[in-house]
Amino acid sequence: MGLAAGSRTSSGKALQVGLAIWHLAGLKNAMTVELSRVPLESLGVTRQTGYRGLKALENAGLIKGGAVAVRPGNHPQHEVKNYNKEVMSCATGGSDR
């Protein structure tokens, strides 16, 4: 199931949460990303709505359930499932970092 399909089955903001996560994964070329409120707020997603969006993405099997790492003083990290480096490379303009 893709990002758009998974987000249609859930809250209206799951797509924005997913886009923020996949964008960060592409920028960092990593499967695990640290998600803060800043990218979500820029997409009009509140903290509580962000939590619901994360849960919807977990239920759709697009991200690993729960935060994979929580370090004191840092944002929780989330792991992207179905990560494809070719897709992420195209999404970030072909940069190969």
* High-pLDDT (> 90) share of the chain, %: 0
Q: Give the separation between CA 84 and CA 42, rounded to whole angstroms.
A: 25
- Residue 26, H or E segment: helix 14-28
pTM over 0.85: no
pLDDT at 85: 54
pLDDT at 91 over 80: no
pLDDT band at 94 (very low <50, low <70, confident <90, very high): low
- Cα four-point dihedral sign 51, 36, 43, 68: negative
CATH topology of domain 3-91: Arc Repressor Mutant, subunit A (1.10.10)
**34-81 confidence digits (pLDDT tens):** 888 888 888 889 988 888 888 888 888 888 876 676 677 777 788 887
